[in-house]
Structure 1
Amino acid sequence: MTTIDTAHAAAEHTVEDFRERGFTHVPNLLTPDEVARFRTAAEEALAAQSNTDEEFGTRITATTDAWERHPALRELALHPRIGALAEQLAGMPLRVWGGEVLRKDPGHSAPTGWHDDLTFALLDSRLIFNAWIALVDVPAERGCLTFLPGSHRRGGPDRVELAEHKSDPDNYLFTHWPELRWSHRVTIPLRAGGATFHQGRTAHYACANASTEVRLSFLVTFTDADATYRPLPGHDPLDLSPGQPLPDHRYPRTPRRDDTR
């Protein structure tokens, strides 16, 4: 079994999955003590500032810029172990673009429909991807992620317009790429402290929380170090100019255990 101390070796073993299938599973990314501390921080962040995404009926409670507001969650987003692993998977220098707490309550959530994260990205980047870190056990019935292997390699446009997602959130991927509907699907339950890493074009889904306990996770978004700002039509929330490189003070380079930069 993969352990904390072999995280770097695990990256070497899973890098092919990440690049060829578009996702990979890394168990035991956090220690039990870290899980407990970061879970408490996540709960505090949700209590202090959160919003419920009900636009498409998903009933996900999510923070906004939690990694910038809460010191412990910033520590998690900039964790050297996670950053080193992310750069090994990507094969390029990275920076952290975001870090948010996600919660699905039992009995009141709905499925998160099939989507890819690149549709929503405010970036021009060679690579955008997420680390989805479980802060509690997330078996299949609690809403773990399901992926379509290789879907990040599909042809056609790099991404669809955000308006198309809003008009048909559950089917926009299948409308543009109907072959995806028949793709093999891989569901990855996670124990607390485990994580999945998935690329921005990888199609994925999560079922409703049909368990009796809360689903709680932390999402770290990585992008290549040379990414530039790309506002979407009708969505330009940052004080940056189109094409502007991301400022280091707000979106720092991923730290490494042996970082000498």
Structure 2
Amino acid sequence: MTTSGVLEWRSDVDSTGRLEPELVERYRRDGFVRVRGVLDRAEVEHFRDAAERFLEAHRSESLAKDRVFTQLVNVWRQDPTMSELTLHPRLAGVAEQLAGIPLRIWHDHMLVKEPHNEAPTEFHQDRPYWPHTGDRHSLSAWIALVDVPPERGCMTFLPGTQELTGFRPQNLRDEEDLFDLDPSLRWVPRVTVPLRAGDCTFHCSYTGHMATPNRTDQARLAHVAIYMDAETKFSGAPHPVTEPLDMTPGEPLAGEMFPRPGR
């Protein structure tokens, strides 16, 4: 911290793109980890400006038709600057260190909590929503493009819940839904992770998590790159990403729609 009380920028990723082993161990133990300074200050400004322009042009296309958040999917396919972020080799390198396997992009999405939206995103897992089979691991990189303190809609995690599989999709607007599936989760300690712009949380797709409401005057602007096992196949279940692709069950999720990032 500087003498003025302003936090200095710092990164948990070294000049070769490597993380400290302790952060990898923490991710594999808890199912999530905060990685500071994945983007430097110039990158944050570059990508935030592009995200704000894209949001202004496409806000009406949000898949979320309620007040919880604005959700724009596969932004990387539509905007060259945001594609740089989704396919960023530093992000992909960290994700593969954490997962321990080769990965592909499943999709990205911009998740925006508008100012004073007052709506939490309730506890849920990501993986039950996805039409995947034959996969060993999947995870999300949740990138803060603005400072995200608790009052602006940061993430809260349930450590260790990455071991819970087989649940149906949960309702993001029902605060009881995940806990109805497993009442013991009510007593799991909850870890809230504020982020500075350029910081990132990586969480396993089975880790229970939620986001607080945005009670501030500034939009919470987050970009999420979602990674899946490079060997993942299509299960046949419906999903907005695969619906236009005319895929058959058992077909690999590969090719230009699901690239190896950072390559």
Within the candidate set 190, 199, 209, 1:204 is matched to 209
Displacement of 1:184: 0.5
Within the candidate set 118, 135, 142, 2:127 is matched to 118
Change (3 A) 1:241 1:186: same
Displacement of 1:167: 10
Question: 1:10 matched to which residue of 2?
Answer: 19
Consecutive aligned runs of 4 or more in structure 1 exceeding 6 Å deviation: none
Change (3 A) 1:221 1:212: same
RMSD over aligned Cα, in angstroms? 2.1
1:116-195 equivalence runs, <5 A: 116-124=125-133, 125-154=135-164, 158-162=165-169, 165-166=170-171, 169-195=174-200
State the TM-score, normalizing by the size of structure 1: 0.88
Residue identity opposite 1:25 in structure 2:
R
What whole-Å deviation, never above 9, does each CA across 1:87-116 have from its counterpart, x for those lacking one?
Answer: 111100111111111111111240000101
1:203-242 equivalence runs, <5 A: 203-232=208-237, 237-239=243-245, 240-242=247-249
What whole-Å deviation, never above 9, does each CA across 1:153-185 have from its counterpart, x for those lacking one?
Answer: 23xxx23334xx359843221111111111001
Q: Aligned to 2:207, what secondary structure does the other structure show?
A: coil
What whole-Å deviation, never above 9, does each CA across 1:169-215 have from its counterpart, x for those lacking one?
Answer: 43221111111111001000000000000001100011100122110
Q: Does 1:48 align with 2:57?
A: yes
What whole-Å deviation, never above 9, does each CA across 1:36-78 have from its counterpart, x for those lacking one?
Answer: 11111111221222344655x5430121211111111111111
Question: 1:81 matched to which residue of 2?
Answer: 90
Change (3 A) 1:149 1:58: farther
Question: 1:259 matched to which residue of 2?
Answer: none
Please, which moves more after superposition, 235-244 or 5-14? Answer: 5-14
The whole-number CA distance in structure 2 between the counterparts of 1:248 and 1:208 is 37
Q: Is the Cα–Cα contact under 8 Å of residues 73 and 99 in structure 1 kept in the other structure?
A: no
Within the candidate set 103, 116, 123, 1:94 is matched to 103
Q: Does 1:250 align with 2:257?
A: yes
Residue identity opposite 1:107 in structure 2:
H
Displacement of 1:135: 0.1
Q: Is the Cα–Cα contact under 8 Å of residues 64 and 71 in structure 2 kept in the other structure?
A: no
Give the unaligned 5+ runs of structure 2.
Answer: 1-9
Q: Is the Cα–Cα contact under 8 Å of residues 124 and 171 in structure 2 kept in the other structure?
A: no
Give the unaligned 5+ runs of structure 1.
Answer: 257-261
The whole-number CA distance in structure 2 between the counterparts of 1:74 and 1:234 is 21
The whole-number CA distance in structure 1 between the counterparts of 2:68 and 2:117 is 7
Q: Is the Cα–Cα contact under 8 Å of residues 142 and 224 in structure 2 kept in the other structure?
A: yes
Q: Aligned to 2:101, what secondary structure does the other structure show?
A: coil
Q: Aligned to 2:140, what secondary structure does the other structure show?
A: strand
Q: Aligned to 1:107, what secondary structure does the other structure show?
A: coil
Displacement of 1:248: 2.0
The whole-number CA distance in structure 1 between the counterparts of 2:172 and 2:217 is 32
The whole-number CA distance in structure 1 between the counterparts of 2:83 and 2:93 is 16
Displacement of 1:12: 2.5
- Paired-residue identity, %: 38
Q: Does 1:33 align with 2:39?
A: no
